[in-house]
């Protein structure tokens, strides 16, 4: 599993911090906009530390049972099946809960005893209480940009984590990332990043979302694969950002300035 | 007869020297959104705006016919200044719409070059290729021409050369005080310029902070003065300004203005006044029964169809919100139901193996999954909403439109909602306009009430919030949202000004939160940063920089806030 280490370009001290947190058994919270590399960072760190990684993409129907596990039916009887969190606790793996605020409220109940110094996971259905191995690590992420009154990370939960803020990388770094991910030449990568930064200025005023590094990588991949640049930008950079056709046309005018 | 001949002559002669192509005319208004996005993206400055420029005096030699016709004195112009790009209100110099559009685009690209942080890439190249296309098209129409007829010029009133004019157009030599002469364009000029926020705010003194001059809310009402035709109104304004300078006289005038109207004309009170407490921060205690709040129905409300200018947006929003109606959803772990819930059944078997005998909850059933949410929208109808946000609408018009679109959107979902407005005149007269109760249907009657609610008086926010809290508290829903729509700080005639008002509002909000409500504030006051975070928390409010956008934004915001 840890054979291929996914590429990750460090922006600050996040790698070192993560290593320290891992050594001292501290849970980590990653926050940042969508598509800026949070998931990639965790994959990279898991490979670097040589631990298996269990990633759970949280959604609004994800319950505690989905994390902890449930009974399954077998040959005339039932047996217990560990959920991803339980498996990580038993194996001393890294468990990564992506967009944790999306999950149902009952999940916080199991996260609390795991994220403080008790590091235990009580499994109600089997009556077991697991003590996490020293290598177990809990990592959660969320996007604070979505302003939702009814959902949001409770301060009492947030305070249990060491927090790391992510943002889109600086232009030179981002260009390097795009080039590395897609094998496009540096000039095109720089051009795409400049375009993305032009579009990011529009956030909140004209657009609700910023162009993410992920979208840039998609665009570069299409271009690298021989797709025409303008059409690639439209498909992978402009259309994903807005549904309003007038805004799309306006953004395309901006794109044309960069790819005339 | 003479007049008639003159008109015909004028029409013919001006037409004969008019080189425009009206059928290919492109208006700034249809391009504004596109150009704005291009300008902001390319310049890297999110605050830049597209504005309409005024014509400037032309120094170009005029043809004989132009001299005869008396035209060609002024030309349309485009320039960039610190916070905006000014473009002519229409372009029709080419016979093809495409080229006229491109002319706008080229000017915008050129205009975003100045001070651009992302300029490194392609902007120059792009503007040059636009320019080449345009120039060759122009030359094919006017073989003798060397340059395009329109280019960026230095901003009028500034010495030339503040803007690098990248092309060799002869910049008009001087505009120091090129006041356009024609009456029609003079009028235009007056309308288009930014309203100065200086002395024109005088009028507001009498309305907002009469007894306390410590906090002065500058609200521009300059547009009132623009319309010279309306002599009566001008006279009225003059009157006010004169008396305002004379303290004694002004107070008399003001008193007249602010007296509550005769009961016959006033809004219709509903029931007895409701006593409400108020927080006095100096004494650090709640003064019970300090305020009296009167629920009222606006007078003269008639059932009203949806205003035509809102129909398109309302339709769009309704469709969007209909998609968000509660779905039918499977619920597991039920005592009774349509299907077997395998997961629960297995759990039940396991438990039984372990010797635990429970009531078998092993079915699943399809039920409507409601969102158990109530929202009360409380809108500020104080006098300050009587100020103008644009040439055609006041804050209160925008607020009314917003209320209607909000109601349209929410009635398409099944969330429970209520609409109220408020204003106040001292602690004994907090006016609480009942526009739509939770139990009422949203219909033509409600729209009539929204449109009939008049702005007036002051903003005693605390009392209004406390009553809204009471109403929300009585709601059976799990989640309760209190949305406050305002254009400024809390204030009133008495001590409810500055810190006192803020502290009371803050306390009222804390009480609301303790009762499980989620308060959120939408404001159009650009100084809100100074006080709203303290009242609503860092993430508990939002500022809409463009008040005009409020009607469209409010339903979107609701969707965002409630996770739709």
Residue range B23-61, pLDDT digits in tens: 889 998 888 888 988 888 888 887 788 888 877 776 666
> With 90 as the cut, is the pLDDT of residue B239 above it?
no
Collect all residues of chain B within an 8 Å Cβ-Cβ radius of residue A194.
118, 120-121
CB pair distance less than 8 Å for A78 and B479: no
Gap from B170 CA to chain A (nearest CA, Å): 26
Chain B residue at shortest CA distance from A76: B349
| Contact call for A71 and B346, based on CB within 8 A | yes
Instruction: Give the chain B residue whose CA is nearest to the CA of A66.
Output: B343
Q: Which residue of A has its CA nearest to B541?
A: A147
Q: Beta B430-436 vs B479-486: how paired, if at all?
A: unpaired
**Shortest CB distance from B126 goes to which of A77, A198, A256?**
A256
B-side interface with A, Cβ within 8 Å? 33-38, 40-42, 44-46, 105, 109, 118, 120-123, 125-126, 129, 342-343, 346-347, 349-350, 353, 373, 479, 481, 518, 520, 539, 542, 560-563
Lowest mean pLDDT among A55-69, B144-158, B306-320: B144-158
A145, closest residue in chain B (CA to CA)? B539
Q: For A70, which of B125, B343, B373 is closest by C-beta distance? A: B343
Which residue in chain A has the smallest CA separation from B374? A150
pLDDT score for B169: 38
Size of interface A-B (CB pairs under 8 A): 110
Mutation site for B-interface testing, chosen from A143, A230, A243, A253 by largest number of B Cβ within 10 Å: A253
Domains of chain A, residue spans? 14-165, 171-258
Whether the pLDDT of residue B234 is over 80: the answer is: no
Question: In the numeric block, which tokens belong to residue B118?
Answer: 């992302």
Q: How far is A104 from chain B (nearest CA, A)?
A: 14
Give the mean model confidence (pLDDT) for residues B486-506. Answer: 88
Sign of CA dihedral B184, B398, B427, B261: positive
- Check: CB of residue A95 under 8 Å from CB of residue A148: no
Contact: A73, B561; criterion CB under 8 Å: no
Residues B469, B482: Cα–Cα separation, whole Å: 8
**What would the 3-class secondary structure string for chain A be?**
CCCCCCCCCCCCCHHHHHHHHHHCCCCEEEECCCCCCHHHHHHHHHHHHCCCEEEEECCCCCCHHHHHEEEEECCCCEEEEECHHHHHHHHCCEEEEECHHHCCCHHHHHHHHHHCCCCEEEECCCCEEEECCCCCEEEEEECCCCCCCCCCCCHHHHCCCEEEECCCCCHHHHHHHHHHHHCCCHHHHHHHHHHHHHHHCCECCCECCCCCHHHHHHHHHHHHCCCCHHHHHHHHHHCCCCCCHHHHHHHHHHHHHHCC
CATH of A14-165, picked from 3.30.70.260, 2.30.110.10, 1.10.10.60, 3.40.50.300, is 3.40.50.300
Asked if A258 lies within 8 A of B121 by C-beta distance, the reply is: yes
Of A247, A251, A260, the CB nearest to B126: A260
Q: How far is CA B120 from CA A163, B39, B411, in A?
A: 36, 15, 50
Name the residue among B510, B514, B483, B511 with its Cα closest to residue B399: B483
Query: Is A150's CB within 8 Å of B539's CB?
Result: no
Contact between residue B202 and residue B247 where contact means Cβ atoms under 8 Å apart: no
Inspect the interface and report whether the beta carbons of A206 and B36 lie closer than 8 Å: yes
**Chain A hits for B312, Cβ within 8 Å:** none
- How does residue B245 score in pLDDT terms, banded at 50, 70 and 90? very low
Nearest by CB to residue B34, choosing from A73, A149, A249, is A249
Task: Select the residue of B37, B129, B560 nearest A250 (Cβ to Cβ).
Answer: B37
Quick: pLDDT tens for B360-400: 788 888 776 667 789 999 999 988 888 887 777 888 888 89
Nearest CA in chain A to B539: A147
Query: In angstroms, what separates the C-alpha of B245 from chain A's closest C-alpha?
Result: 41
| Whole-number Å distance between alpha carbons of B434 and B441 | 13
For residue B368, what pLDDT is reported?
67
- Cβ(B534)–Cβ(B502) below 8 Å: yes
Residues of chain B in contact with residue A172, where contact means CB-CB under 8 angstroms, are none
Question: What residues of B are in contact with residue A258 (Cβ under 8 Å)?
Answer: 121-122, 126
- Residue A171 and residue A193 in contact, taking contact as beta carbons nearer than 8 Å: yes
In angstroms, the separation between the Cα of residue A128 and the nearest Cα of chain B is: 14
Identify any residues that bridge with A28 across adjacent strands, giving them in sequence order.
A139, A162
Answer whether B46 sits within 8 Å of A202, measured CB to CB: yes
| Mean predicted lDDT score pLDDT of chain B | 76
Instruction: Identify the band that residue B295 occupies on the pLDDT scale cut at 50, 70 and 90.
Output: very high
Is B518 close to A72, i.e. CB distance below 8 A? no
Interface of chain A toward chain B, CB-CB under 8 angstroms? 65, 70-73, 77-78, 125, 146-152, 190-191, 194-195, 197-199, 201-206, 246-247, 249-251, 253-254, 256-260
Q: Residue B394's pLDDT is what?
A: 86
Which of B34, B118, B561 faces A194 most closely, judged by CB atoms?
B118
Decide if A125 and B347 are in contact by the 8 Å CB cutoff. yes
Region of poorest pLDDT, from B91-100, B238-247, B287-296? B238-247
Mean pLDDT of B421-429: 91
Cα angle B223-B225-B227, degrees, rounded to a multiple of 5: 85
Q: Looking at CA atoms only, how far is residue B272 from chain A in angstroms?
A: 35
Write the ipTM: 0.76
Which of A77, A124, A149, A194 should one mutate to test binding to chain B, selecting the residue with the greatest count of B CBs within 10 A? A149
Nearest-by-Cβ selection for A198 from B44, B105, B560: B44
pLDDT digits 0-9 by tens, B71-90: 666 677 888 887 788 899 88
Comparison of pLDDT for B215 and A213, the residue scoring more: A213
Contact in structure between B290 and B281 (CB atoms under 8 Å): no
Average of pLDDT values for A102-130?
88
The least confident of B11-20, B83-92, B123-132, B182-191 is B182-191
Which of A257, A258, A259 to mutate against chain B (most B CBs within 10 Å)? A257
pLDDT bucket at B504, cuts 50 / 70 / 90: very high
Partners of B522 on chain A (C-beta within 8 Å) are none
Domains of chain B: 2-192 (no CATH), 199-258 (no CATH), 278-323+372-561 (3.40.50.410), 328-368 (no CATH)
pLDDT at A235 over 70: yes
d(CA B23, CA B30): 15
What is the nearest CA distance from A1 to chain B, expressed in angstroms?
A: 31
Residues of chain B in contact with residue A197, where contact means CB-CB under 8 angstroms, are: 44, 118
Q: What is the mean pLDDT of chain A?
A: 89
Lowest mean pLDDT, pick from A58-67, A70-79, A152-161, A228-237: A70-79
Partner-chain contact B121 A204, CB within 8 Å: no
Higher per-residue pLDDT: B469 or A70: B469
Residue range B484-513: average pLDDT?
89
Contacts of B356 (CB under 8 A, 6+ apart): none
pLDDT at B359 over 60: yes
Determine the pLDDT at residue A130. 93
Residue at token pair 């705010």: B201
DSSP letters for B373-389 = EEEEEEEE-SGGGGSBS
- Lowest-confidence pick of A157-166, B190-199, B531-540: B190-199
Q: Which chain B residues are Cβ-neighbours of A175 within 8 angstroms?
A: none
Look up tokens 């994220």; give the residue: A115
Looking at residue B342, what is its pLDDT?
82
Nearest to A197 by CA among A227, A167, A235, A223: A167
* Subunit contact A194:B120, Cβ cutoff 8 A: yes
Q: Provide the shortest C-alpha distance from residue A237 to chain B (in Å).
A: 14
Q: Which of A133-137, B409-413, B467-471 has the lowest mean pLDDT?
A: B409-413
Nearest beta carbon to residue A206 from set B37, B109, B126: B37
């Amino acid at each position: 599993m840890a054979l291929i280490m996914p590429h990750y370009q460090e922006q600050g001290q996040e790698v070192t911090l993560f290593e320290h947190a891992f050594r001292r058994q501290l849970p980590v919270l990653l926050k940042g906009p969508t598509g800026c590399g949070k998931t990639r960072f965790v994959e990279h760190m898991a490979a670097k530390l040589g631990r298996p990684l269990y990633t759970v993409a949280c959604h609004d129907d994800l319950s505690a049972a989905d994390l902890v596990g449930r009974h399954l039916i077998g040959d005339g009887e039932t047996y217990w099946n560990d959920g991803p969190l339980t498996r990580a606790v038993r194996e001393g793996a890294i468990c990564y809960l992506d967009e944790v605020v999306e999950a149902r409220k009952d999940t916080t109940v199991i996260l609390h005893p795991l994220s403080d110094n008790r590091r235990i996971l009580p499994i109600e259905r089997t009556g077991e209480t697991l003590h996490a191995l020293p290598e177990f690590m809990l990592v959660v992420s969320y996007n604070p940009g979505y302003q939702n009154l009814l959902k949001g990370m409770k301060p009492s939960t947030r305070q249990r984590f060491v927090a790391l803020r992510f943002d889109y990388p600086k232009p030179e770094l981002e260009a390097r990332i795009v080039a590395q991910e897609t094998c496009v030449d540096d000039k095109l990568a720089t051009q795409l990043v400049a375009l993305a930064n032009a579009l990011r200025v529009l956030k909140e005023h004209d657009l609700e979302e910023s162009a993410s590094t992920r979208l840039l990588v998609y665009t570069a991949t299409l271009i690298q694969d021989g797709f025409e640049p303008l059409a690639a930008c439209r498909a992978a950079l402009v259309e994903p950002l807005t549904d309003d056709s007038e805004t799309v046309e306006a953004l395309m005018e901006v794109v044309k300035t960069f790819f005339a | 007869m003479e007049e008639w001949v003159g008109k015909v002559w004028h029409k013919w002669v001006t037409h004969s020297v008019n080189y425009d192509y009206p059928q290919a005319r492109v208006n700034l208004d249809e391009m504004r959104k596109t150009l704005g996005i291009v300008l902001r993206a390319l310049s890297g400055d999110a605050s830049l705006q597209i504005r309409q420029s005024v014509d400037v005096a032309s120094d170009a030699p005029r043809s004989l016919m132009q001299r005869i016709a008396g035209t060609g004195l002024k030309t349309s112009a485009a320039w960039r200044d610190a916070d905006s790009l000014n473009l002519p209100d229409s372009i029709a110099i080419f016979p093809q719409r495409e080229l006229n559009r491109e002319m706008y685009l080229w000017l915008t690209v050129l205009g975003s070059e100045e001070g651009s942080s992302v300029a490194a890439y392609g902007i120059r190249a792009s503007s040059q290729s636009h320019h080449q296309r345009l120039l060759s098209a122009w030359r094919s129409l006017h073989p003798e021409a060397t340059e395009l007829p329109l280019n960026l010029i230095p901003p009028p009133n500034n010495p030339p050369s503040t803007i690098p004019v990248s092309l060799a157009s002869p910049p008009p030599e001087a505009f120091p005080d090129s006041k356009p002469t024609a009456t029609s364009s003079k009028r235009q000029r007056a309308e288009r310029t930014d309203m100065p926020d200086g002395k024109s705010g005088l009028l507001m003194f009498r309305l907002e902070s009469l007894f306390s001059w410590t906090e002065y809310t500058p609200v521009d009402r300059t547009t009132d003065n623009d319309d010279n035709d309306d002599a009566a109104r001008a006279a009225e304004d003059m009157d006010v300004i004169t008396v305002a300078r004379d303290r004694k006289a002004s107070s008399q005038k003001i008193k007249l203005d602010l007296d509550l109207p005769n009961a016959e004309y006033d809004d219709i009170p509903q029931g007895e006044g409701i006593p409400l407490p108020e927080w006095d921060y100096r004494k650090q205690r709640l003064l019970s029964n300090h305020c009296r709040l009167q629920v009222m129905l606006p007078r003269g409300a008639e059932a009203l169809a949806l205003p035509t200018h809102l129909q398109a947006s309302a339709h769009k929003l309704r469709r969007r919100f209909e998609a968000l109606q509660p779905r039918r959803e499977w619920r597991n772990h039920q005592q009774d139901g349509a299907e077997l819930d395998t997961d629960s059944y297995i759990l039940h078997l396991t438990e039984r193996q372990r010797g635990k005998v429970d009531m078998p909850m092993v079915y699943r059933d399809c039920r409507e999954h409601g969102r158990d949410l109530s929202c009360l929208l409380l809108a500020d109808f104080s006098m300050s909403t009587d100020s103008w946000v644009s040439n055609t609408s006041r804050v209160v018009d925008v607020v009314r439109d917003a209320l209607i679109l909000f109601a349209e959107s929410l009635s398409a979902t099944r969330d429970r909602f209520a609409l109220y407005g408020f204003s106040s005149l001292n602690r004994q007269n907090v006016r609480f306009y009942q526009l739509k109760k939770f139990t009422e249907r949203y219909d033509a009657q409600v729209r009539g009430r929204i449109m009939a609610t008049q702005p007036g008086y002051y903003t005693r926010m605390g009392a209004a919030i406390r009553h809204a809290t009471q109403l929300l508290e009585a709601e059976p829903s799990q989640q309760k949202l209190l949305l406050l729509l305002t254009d400024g700080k809390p204030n009133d005639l008495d001590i409810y000004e500055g810190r006192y008002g803020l502290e009371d509002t803050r306390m009222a909000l804390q009480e609301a939160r303790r009762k499980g409500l989620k308060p959120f504030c939408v404001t159009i006051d650009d100084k809100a940063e100074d006080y709203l975070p303290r009242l609503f928390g860092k993430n508990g409010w939002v500022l809409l920089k463009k008040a005009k956008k409020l009607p469209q934004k409010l339903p979107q915001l609701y969707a965002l806030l409630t996770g739709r």
